[in-house]
Structure 1
């Protein structure tokens, strides 16, 4: 069995391998004893990373119920954990469909042989990598800031435990668990977000490759004195166009599958993100400047949550835009030199491209930059209400 899962997209490669190593997204290629042990392995990591956290933070939330300041201090990470659980369950339930989408996109990107096409694939990889680096940087600053900001004798994060955490070795073990679990949770949460956004980026890349194929439809095809494709080359152009149509249908089907698999996943994340951004901003507003490391960590967490929403909306917005650009690419090819049946086929492609590929949050909201702005506005509205309640 391979240690690493190969993928043409670097961010997808990282995401797939992290999720595989903790047993959350494992291809069905285990047999015998390994297959029987896999559910226990996955359950162990689930409980270590998020299960215990949800239990102890829910207990703490019950204890401080009614005190808005303490409730917000507990709930911002609790809601993150709840969203994480929703996303993990979704990925594990839809494992086969998700892996099929990944394999299809990977096969297309690896099979690209044109110089211009390879440049498009490389550009797509660089874009997703830059976004991952920024998101990852905010995540690293947040989790290590939390771990380093705890005062002597205190835990990094609020939680209730059925034992005295102020005594040794309970304090050291609990501190270690909180720190390690939060770090793993953060990176796996990033992996789940990157999994979805990278799949959308791969679809975008495939649309760009299709646009290139349409623009170069008559490349190296001689044009006769009547400015038409010569009769002996009509079949070549026809075959190229047929492949473009099949490719277009395949990309649209992949985009539809991504929407089907992750629409609920995105809705859960966006719903929780509105609350988390609001609660984190409220916590920052109340934060004293006595602990600058804690302040930086919380501010980084706020930016990270906004970045998380932005990644989904950014990829969704450009996916729609680039699926629409297929019509322009079809028009840019020398259609005037093609026979009438081929022109009609190009018109069909152009007409179909006007119904753009979209990603949605539960079917309620289309992912776009306008959607991102709406979420930030909603979070700010809740933030002002929370401030008024406290006053």
Structure 2
């Protein structure tokens, strides 16, 4: 999972850039080719927005809000994914350490054995030095696991209140975006925006579900 950290960074930068470029291009074409002075978003204001400079200032405000919204919408899943990747990589490291202890127990070195002859035959015992070293390694693994559990608990406590509103926003966004796409049937330029937004919303849901499943699978390994 540590290899996913640079991948998440690259994908996050690509998606954020692609969403920004698409939105700026689509909105610019629509604003320049329409004669009824449309807004970036179809919104209602309690004042007349068709006159200058109100029209230009309102569009600038919507453009700034778009940049902020894109950074929040696509930056949050990337940040969550990075934290989960760190937790999963630590769990993988813990698993590797446990496997090393198991391998050392199953196949001890020849020079670390002592052989004792008994009436029932030859008995091979692990030396006290090897046993102490394995006990120390196991204690380190236990402490490491406790720190990982504490780290995961901190992630959960931090994201619990935030993700409640975030997922509610995603679900509402999926519903309203699908409705907007249906109402714009027959106009490819108008319909392209809600379709792309819907796809990016779905990608966000997938990111949280996939990384959450990976973390659950990794947590069950050391138990």
State the TM-score, normalized to the length of structure 2. Answer: 0.79
C-alpha displacement of 1:241: 1.0
Alignment of structure 1 residues 1-391 onto 2, 5 Å: 121=2, 123-129=3-9, 131-133=11-13, 135-136=15-16, 139-140=19-20, 143-145=23-25, 147-148=27-28, 149-150=30-31, 151-152=34-35, 153-217=37-101, 222=109, 223-224=112-113, 229-292=126-189, 294-326=190-222, 353=223
Larger RCO: 1 or 2 (CA < 8 Å, sep 6+) = 2
Does 265-274 or 244-253 show the bigger shift? 265-274
Q: Is the 8 A contact 2:178 2:198 kept in 1?
A: yes
**1:57-87 per-position Cα deviation (integer Å, ceiling 9, x unaligned):** xxxxxxxxxxxxxxxxxxxxxxxxxxxxxxx
**1:204-256 per-position Cα deviation (integer Å, ceiling 9, x unaligned):** 11111111111122569635266654322222211111111011111111112
Q: Distance in 2 between matches of 1:131 and 1:270?
A: 21
C-alpha displacement of 1:306: 0.9
Count of residue pairs brought into register by the alignment:
206
| Residues 191 and 302 (structure 1), Cα distance of their counterparts in 2 relative to 1, 3 Å cut | same
Aligned-residue CA RMSD (Å): 2.6
1:216 is paired with a residue whose SS is: helix
C-alpha displacement of 1:321: 0.3
Larger radius of gyration: 2
Structure 1 unaligned blocks of 5 or more: 1-119, 327-352, 354-391
Larger proportion of strand: 2
C-alpha displacement of 1:316: 1.0
Q: Is the 8 A contact 2:12 2:75 kept in 1?
A: no
Name the counterpart of 1:108: none
Q: Is the 8 A contact 1:210 1:247 kept in 2?
A: yes
